Amino acid sequence: MYKTDLRLMTIDTEKGLVVLAPVDDNWILTVLYVPELQLGLAIAKTKNVLRLLEGIQLPPPPEVFEDSAEGNLEVLETIAIQAASTTSAEVQVTPAPAARPVAADVPKVQTPAVQAAVPAERKPEDFTVSPSTVPMRGDAYSRVLSLDSDLYQEMKNKYRNFGFDVLMLVDGTKAVGQIADSMFQPIERVAELLKWGASKGIIEVPTAEVLKQQVAAEGPIGRFVKVPIFEGDIAKAKPEERKILELCDGSKTTEDIGKATGLPESKIVQILAQYRKLGLKMVGKTL
């Protein structure tokens, strides 16, 4: 009944949230998210994947599926990898310039300027990422999302699924602070991933030299952080977690709360994530 208008469908299951989205007349994108992930972020991730699939000619589904679920998964994975490889190849292939005839009496001279123009390999520490930085997609963005690329494997080994999740939110409109807040992750962790991505050409962020020039022109700036504030009913919280929520007064970072309670910061972040719908929010603050 709603075939022509259907864009997304969400199903809440015991294993997590399932999001369905039609890609074309033959394929439906189906994603199972972990139970801890918020509905809004799950929908945003799914929409980002749909945008990446725009313009890709997916092959028709196989006429006969395997009898086992494992066999079906292998068939679908093969189709997905082939589609990703095709997209990556289309992005990387550039037409070769036409050959120009060279006169016999013109000597070949090596130009030092051309050799010097080759850019040196960048390192993550060469880039600077602040909460207000808006990362842009670089030339290698599509390649890192190809499941069979070396760059994807490197990111997977280094950052697991976290790297993929962050890059899916890089669309040229969201600042680093917004990305970290939507994922409920420390800005430092997101910034580390983005600086690595910038060193690989996956995204574009300012270099450290550019920031130094801005600071010299505008003067030193404070450190921008996100701090939690709990404005809900603390009586609804678990008794063992009320002390943590009491410290969420807008003056302490998750690191400060961890030191005060003796818990790791990662544990504090995990606990606070459960109270996003009960009155906890993150606000920006300059120290």
- Residues 176-233: pLDDT tens digits? 888 887 777 888 889 999 999 999 999 998 876 555 554 455 444 455 677 889 988 9
Can you give the pLDDT at residue 203? 92
Q: Quick count: other Cβ atoms within 10 Å of Cβ 15?
A: 9
Can you give the pLDDT at residue 7? 80
The pTM score is: 0.44
**Selected residue with higher pLDDT from 286 and 31:** 31
Can you give the pLDDT at residue 230? 92
| 134 contacts 173 by C-beta, under 8 angstroms | yes
Buried b (16+ CB within 10 A) or exposed e, 194-212: bbbbbbbebbbbbeeeebe
| 285 contacts 223 by C-beta, under 8 angstroms | no
Q: What are the tokens at 153?
A: 């494997």
Q: How far apart are CA 35 and CA 12, in angstroms?
A: 9
**Selected residue with higher pLDDT from 73 and 27:** 27
Mean pLDDT on 241-245: 93
Q: What mean pLDDT is reported for the chain?
A: 77
Can you give the pLDDT at residue 96? 44
Q: Report whether pLDDT(88) > 70.
A: no
Q: What are the tokens at 216?
A: 């010299």
Domain ranges of the chain: 1-55, 121-218, 224-286
Can you give the pLDDT at residue 67? 56
Buried b (16+ CB within 10 A) or exposed e, 76-86: eeebeeebbee
Mean pLDDT on 89-103: 45
Q: Where are the alpha helices (DSSP H) in 60-186?
A: 69-92, 112-116, 141-144, 150-159, 161-168, 176-183
Q: How far apart are CA 195 and CA 18, in angstroms?
A: 31
Nearest to 151 by CA among 169, 134, 163: 163
Tens-digit pLDDT profile for residues 153-181: 899 899 888 888 888 889 888 888 888 87
Can you give the pLDDT at residue 242? 92
Q: How far apart are CA 44 and CA 28, in angstroms?
A: 17
